[in-house]
Chains A and B, each alone.
Chain A
Amino acid sequence: MSGVNTGSRGAISAEDLSMSETREVMLDIQGLEVHFETRRGIARAVNDVDLQLYKGERFGLVGESGSGKTTMILALLRMIKTPGFIAGGRAVFDDGTDLLRLSPEEVRENRLRRVAMVPQGAMNSLNPVMRIGQQITLTMREHGEEGTKVEFQDRVAQLLDQVGLKPEVAQLYPHELSGGMKQRACIAQAISLSPRLILADEPTSALDVVVQRQIMQTLRQLQLQLDATVLLVGHDMGLMAQFAERVGIMYGGKLVEVGAVADVFRNPQHPYTQLLISSIPSFERRGTFKGIPGVGLSLLDSPTGCLFHPRCPQAMERCSRDEPGLTQLGPGQHVSCLLYEKDESHATSA
Chain B
Amino acid sequence: MNWNYIVRRVSLFLVVVWAAASVNFFVPRLGTGRDPIREKLGQLAASGGLRQDGIEAMVKAYQAKFGLDRPLYEQYWNFLADTVRLDLGYSLANYPARVGDLIGNAMPWTIGLMVISVLIGFAIGTLMGALSAWPGSPRWVRGMAVPLMTMSAIPPYLLGLIVLYILGLKLKLFPLSGGYSPGMLAIASVDYYIDVVHHSILPALAIVLQAVGFWALGMRGMMVTTSGEDYIALAEANGLRNRTIFLRFGLRNAMLPQFTALGLSLANVVAGQVIVEVIFAYPGIGTVLFQAIQASDYTVINGVVLILIMAIGLVTMIMDFLYPLLDPRISHRSGT
Contact = CB atoms under 8 A, between A and B. Distances in A.
Contact of B239 (A113, A124, A128): A113
A329 interface: no
Contacts of A173: 328-329
Interface string A157-184: 0000000000000000101000000000
A128 B236 contact: no
Interface stretch (B12-20, B175-183, B247-255): B247-255
Contact of B238 (A81, A120, A130, A189): A189
Interface string A116-138: 11011101111111100000001
Contacts of B238: 111-112, 116-117, 139, 142, 189-190
A77 B235 CA distance: 12
Nearest to B256: A129
Contact of A127 (B236, B239, B248): B248
A121 B230 contact: yes
A81 to B, nearest CB: 8
A327 interface: no
Contacts of A107: 239
A138 B247 CA distance: 13
B39 interface: no
A108 interface: yes
Given A138-B248, A173-B329, A175-B328, A127 B237 contact: no
A337 B116 CA distance: 72
Contacts of B244: 138, 142
A126 B233 CA distance: 10
A202 to B, nearest CB: 13
Interface string B107-127: 000000000000000000000
Nearest to A192: B238
A107 B244 CA distance: 16
B238 to A, nearest CB: 5
B327 A129 contact: yes
A119 B239 contact: no
A113 B244 CA distance: 18
B240 A125 contact: no
Contacts, number: 76
Q: Interface size class for chain B?
A: 20 to 34
A142 B239 contact: yes
Per DSSP, chain B at the interface is helix
A124 B234 CA distance: 10
A143 B239 contact: yes
Nearest to B252: A129
B249 A109 contact: no
Contacts of A139: 235, 238-240
A111 B239 contact: yes
A110 B231 CA distance: 19
Given A129-B252, A138-B244, A119 B329 contact: no
Contacts of B241: 108, 142
B239 A112 contact: yes
A123 B230 CA distance: 9
A21 to B, nearest CB: 32
Contact of B231 (A81, A109, A124): A124
Contacts of A123: 230
A79 interface: yes
Contacts of B229: 124
Interface string B216-247: 00000000000001110111111111001000
Contacts of B328: 128-129, 173, 175
A139 to B, nearest CB: 5
Contacts of A113: 239
A186 interface: yes
Contacts of B329: 128, 173, 175
Contacts of B253: 127-129
A111 to B, nearest CB: 3
A105 B314 CA distance: 48
Contact of B240 (A110, A121, A138, A190): A138
B227 to A, nearest CB: 11
Given A138-B248, A173-B329, A175-B329, A77 B230 contact: no
Contacts of B237: 77, 79, 111-112, 116-117, 119
Contacts of A121: 230
20 contacts: A79-B236, A110-B239, A111-B238, A119-B230, A119-B233, A124-B229, A125-B234, A127-B248, A127-B249, A128-B231, A128-B329, A129-B253, A130-B248, A138-B240, A139-B240, A142-B238, A142-B244, A175-B328, A175-B329, A189-B238
Interface of B: 135, 229-231, 233-241, 244, 248-249, 252-253, 326-329
The 5 closest A-B pairs by CB, nearest first: A111-B239, A117-B237, A124-B230, A173-B328, A125-B230
Given A79-B237, A111-B238, A127-B249, 15 more contacts: A79-B236, A81-B135, A111-B237, A112-B237, A116-B237, A119-B233, A119-B234, A125-B231, A125-B234, A127-B252, A128-B328, A129-B326, A129-B327, A175-B328, A190-B238
